[in-house]
Chain A
Amino acid sequence: MTLLVVRDLTVRYAPGVPAVRGVGFDVGAGEVLGVVGESGSGKTALALAMVGLLPPDARVTGSVRLRGEELVGRSDAELSRIRGRDLAMVFQDPLSALTPVHPVGDQIAEAVRIHSGATWPAARARAVELLDLVGIPGAARRARACPHEFSGGMRQRVMIAMAIANDPVAIVADEPTTALDVTVQAQVLDVLKAAKEATGAAIVLITHDLGVVAGFADRIMVMHAGRAVESGPVEEVYRRPRMPYTIGLLQSLPRMGAAGAARPAPVDGASPEAPAAGGGCAFRPRCPVAVDACGGRDPEPVLVGPSGHTAACVNTEATADPDAVFPLPDAVPRPARPPRRERPVVLEVDGLVRHHPLYRGTLLRRRAGTVHAVDGIGFDVREAETLALVGESGCGKTTALMEILRLARPQRGSVAVLGQDTAALRPARRKALRRDVQVVFQDPFTSLDPRMRVADIIAEPFAAHGLRAPRGRVRELLDLVGLEPAHAGRYPHGLSGGQRQRVGIARALALEPRLLLLDEPVAALDVSVQAGVMDLLEGLRNRLGIAYLFVAHDLAVVHRIADRVAVMYMGRIVEIGSVDEVYGRPAHPYTRALLDAVPLPDPRLERRRRRVPLRGDLPDPTAPPAGCRFRSRCPRYAALGAVDARRCEEHDPMPRPMSTDRESDQWAACHHPLAEAGAGS
């Protein structure tokens, strides 16, 4: 039964170009439509238009019918009777989407009361039931807590409880898991699935993550520049994409499953903010198979496969074989280098500790404990090698990076850069050493001074060290990171996200460092842009022999770029080793759980996977569990006998090698590793 019918929906903000142009789809009961697209493709405008929550200056035309009832053009009063009852919404950021001053139970009860007119006690009782349904332990007690007392994943569960409070006919979920860690994302998607089964609602799931859609949605609609460029059943579209944009998106994804498979092909250029000049297909400037017929007018969707698989492309003949559309870039040649053991060590960290005192109370500050942000980690990075630090948010990976960047005496342990112990450095020597250690930050939108031109930003490191930038150096650097000389005169706001991140990299490279610290350098970028920046980083490492310390939460990205990987949990490294070993034979249950939680962008593989979801959230960082810190969430610990479990409870595991093989360097801190890989053990 078709519940939600959208036809020819167009959203126009007063002066500018339309954000959504003529989008249409149907969603049936119990069906999930995944809407994917990059930032600026109009996904969120589409979601808000459906529920009528766009800002007042937006103009909506077209039709949205819920069970045959037209929603477009209704007044706020009429829509408010439908919103929350028949049509519910889950928003992206659970940190800001709940009112901070009201208890969550009351916020859910309010949703019940508005539509049913129930009494407060009855509505509160229903709220507790709902909280229980979405898996919040101790629901009756937690209902009285305010949002700040919940973790991100728990807040998103509250949002879902609120959405299903009145058994809605349809739920619109706008990036419901984007702000969450992968392990928590898996939990929340399970809750959403349970909610769907409990209510039989039609779900529109808006996301940029093709992996989430692969595992969760039945049908997919790909949006580009406000238009639905391809739609159809998920399996069909993933297997035989026909619109070049979809092909590019799918190919540009870093994939963990396929080791050694073809390198992802970047869809170059930024997503255009406005459709191409002179009308016609908006993807034309980036399209490798564009023909003359692409100009003129927007291509209409045509049927290209079974079960209503449509693609809005003129040249579908050229996309019959999706693999041939984007020319595969030549693999970056990796110059022969001596084996790892013989290469010089660039960075050596041993027993590094960073504890933060924690103060509570804004009125009356007092010491409430210590956050063990980094609690004794050690590793080394050698020339021309990438070590990735991965883990959930709050595991201490960025703190570790910042502690290294300080080049000062750590609270405990030691940091040695190029053989020099940072604790023993004099200020002048420390400043000189900074030339060899540079950093690239996560957010390209805030890490560049908006009032400086690109050329000045890139030349600033020279000025900081009292040098003059050699003639032509800025141009050389721009060329190195794949920017045009014309970009030198621009301000950061005139660049796209990917271009800005390239400027950030050029600035870091200006002084020819030996070690580059990268803090989530691609996390803020769209997938198609990510691929280009990662190619750049890989190429630079191979050509210049720089060592990278790469902090990331995205395991697929790490798999793509890193040589070695260190998995962090609550300030400790729980497993470290070469990427092939750690991804291929994870020894620590936490590594296994992290890998399991990453959704694969392949519907068949994704649905076939059996996974053991990680339970719960990170424990309180001021009071880690005694013995093994991962114990409270460990699926392996839960299955152990009493004797084996006691070791986990009483002894803090130290990292030890997982193999006696000389070539292997996989270490894990676990009493009961999953697979003692290799010959020994």
Chain B
Amino acid sequence: MAAFLLRRLANYAVLAVAATSLAYLLAAVALDPRSNFDDRAPRPPESVVDARLTRLNLNDRTALAVRYGTWAAGVLHGDFGRTWEGRPVNAELWRRLGVSVRLMSPGAVLGSALGILLGAYAAIRQGRAADRFITFGSYLLLAVPVFVLAVLLQIVAAKANDAMGMHLFAWVGETSPGAAYGPFGALGGLADRARHLFLPTVTIAMTQIAFYSRYQRGLMLDVLHADFVRTARAKGLRHRTALLRHGLRTALIPMTTYFAYSFGFLVLGGMFCEQAFGWHGMGEWLVEAVSRGDVNVVAAISCLAACGVLAAGLASDVLHGVLDPRVRSGAAA
């Protein structure tokens, strides 16, 4: 297993380098940081602009290969360069990554777990009211864009706040200023964070549930009439237990592959959520960077996203191996 993981990692490293380099080159060609100076009044002299752009390694009058070389040398030393404002990209990247992970992980975990359970349940109740309700609900959610869903939830939350006469739901930013210094101290801060996290988590979880439940329902239907489920019942397991113990585990195996692919959706969904709920995470930063022509930031985020997708792929392979002994012995033999 260790040898397999090492080789896999080497493959992934090559992929990550290729993806990041392409992202840098594309951004460097397509984005035009020089235009940021156009609407300044008074427009700085050309030499000043050049000097500033060169310092940031953003000067389009330097050959692309040279810029790429400078950037790549920096990246090799773990330095993604500087942002437009001249601050190091690295520090900001880690800070923003933390925000994004805090925003997305509860929704992702909750959404995939609930989605799998709901999908399995819908399959067991195939054709009945519960199945139809879940199917209808997930199609509805799939049809609604994330930002619309976020806004709808905010409206509902606002009505709920009004109806209760207290400010239970909060949806702007990560915390309310000063919450950690209230009567409950750090505990109060934590509760405030949870309160702010609630709506974004629900938004992300709902879209994830919609995706996962559709897939899981289809997979579960395949094993519903499988011979080994019948064998399990012949041993004396009740229908539902047989399905959970023998059917679900088998039906989860193809899901691991989907897990890797859904990571991309999650990042995209996270971007909309940050905008809608006023979190200052990676998604928001990427949008700003693109509009400002901040090549280094775009490349850094692309690198991180590529690594994230590859890590999700690796995780799904490992999960696949854990769930499916057929793969395990195949890799070991």
Contacts and interface: CB of A to CB of B under 8 A. Distances in A.
Given A53-B230, A89-B234, A364-B331, A101 B323 contact: yes
A101 B325 contact: yes
B227 A83 contact: no
Interface string A90-134: 010100111111110000001100110000000000000000000
A363 B4 contact: yes
Contacts of A53: 230, 233-234
B209 to A, nearest CB: 25
Contact of B236 (A111, A159, A364): A111
A159 B231 contact: yes
Given A53-B230, A77-B238, A99-B250, A363 B317 contact: yes
A364 B7 CA distance: 9
B265 interface: no
A146 B327 CA distance: 11
A99 B333 contact: no
Interface string A49-68: 00101010000000000000
Contacts of B329: 146, 148-149
A100 B250 contact: yes
A98 B228 contact: yes
Nearest to B228: A99
Contacts of B317: 363
A162 interface: yes
Question: Chain B CB within 10 Å — which of A81, A89, A159, A363 has the most?
Answer: A363
A470 interface: no
A114 B326 contact: no
Contacts of A111: 235-236
Contacts of B238: 76-77, 80
Contacts of A362: 327, 330-331
B246 A114 contact: no
Nearest to B252: A101
A97 B246 CA distance: 11
B234 A363 contact: no
B18 interface: no
B230 A363 contact: no
B235 A162 contact: yes
Interface string B216-239: 000000000111101111111111
Given A101-B249, A101-B253, A76 B237 contact: no
A362 B326 CA distance: 9
A464 B233 CA distance: 51
B327 A363 contact: yes
A467 to B, nearest CB: 44
Given A80-B236, A100-B326, A146-B325, A93 B227 contact: yes
A51 B234 contact: yes
A361 to B, nearest CB: 4
Contacts, number: 104
A115 B236 contact: yes
A297 B156 CA distance: 69
Contacts of A599: none
A9 to B, nearest CB: 18
Contacts of A51: 234
Interface in B195-251: 225-228, 230-239, 245-246, 249-250
Contacts of A98: 228, 231
Contacts of B324: 100-101
A99 B231 contact: yes
A110 to B, nearest CB: 6
- Tell which of A80, A82, A91, A159 has the most Cβ of chain B within 10 Å: A80
A102 B324 CA distance: 9
Contacts of A96: 226-228
A368 interface: yes
Nearest to B253: A101
A572 interface: no
B2 to A, nearest CB: 12
Contact of B250 (A83, A101, A159): A101
B107 to A, nearest CB: 29
Interface residues of A, number: 39
B189 to A, nearest CB: 44
A83 B231 contact: no
A93 B249 CA distance: 21
Contacts of B327: 361-363
B326 A80 contact: no
B106 interface: no
Contact of A97 (B7, B230, B331): B230
Contact of A85 (B236, B249, B320): B236
Nearest to B242: A80
Contact of A363 (B239, B249, B331): B331
Contacts of A55: 225
Contacts of A610: none
A165 B236 CA distance: 12
Contacts of A101: 249-250, 253, 323-325
A93 B330 CA distance: 23
A432 B326 CA distance: 45
B7 to A, nearest CB: 7
Interface in B300-333: 317, 320-321, 323-327, 329-331, 333
Interface string A457-487: 0000000000000000000000000000000
A531 interface: no
A661 B40 CA distance: 110
A88 interface: yes
A97 B235 contact: no
Contacts of B249: 99, 101-102
B331 A83 contact: no
A248 interface: no
A360 interface: yes
A85 B235 CA distance: 7
Given A97-B227, A101-B250, A102-B246, A146 B326 contact: yes
Contacts of B233: 53, 80, 83
A387 B300 CA distance: 70
Nearest to B233: A53
A98 B317 CA distance: 24
A84 interface: yes
Which of B226, B234, B329 has the largest number of chain A CB atoms within 10 A? B234
Contacts of A368: 333
Contacts of B7: 364
A98 B234 CA distance: 12
Contacts of A364: 4, 7-8, 331
Contacts of B227: 91, 93, 96-97
A550 B228 CA distance: 35
Contacts of A360: 330, 333
A84 B331 CA distance: 35
A363 B327 CA distance: 8
A115 B238 CA distance: 12
Contacts of B253: 101
Contacts of A149: 329
A148 to B, nearest CB: 5
Nearest to B232: A99
Nearest to B238: A80
Contacts of A88: 234
Given A83-B235, A99-B231, A361 B333 contact: yes
Interface of B: 4, 7-8, 225-228, 230-239, 245-246, 249-250, 253, 317, 320-321, 323-327, 329-331, 333
7 contacts: A53-B234, A84-B237, A100-B326, A101-B249, A102-B249, A148-B326, A363-B330
Given A85-B236, A102-B246, A111-B235, 20 more contacts: A51-B234, A53-B230, A76-B239, A80-B233, A80-B238, A83-B234, A83-B236, A98-B228, A99-B232, A100-B228, A100-B326, A101-B249, A101-B253, A101-B325, A362-B327, A362-B330, A362-B331, A363-B8, A363-B317, A364-B7
The 7 closest A-B pairs by CB, nearest first: A84-B236, A84-B235, A111-B235, A96-B227, A146-B325, A89-B234, A361-B330
Interface of A: 51, 53, 55, 76-77, 80-85, 88-89, 91, 93, 96-103, 110-111, 114-115, 146, 148-149, 159, 162, 165, 360-364, 368
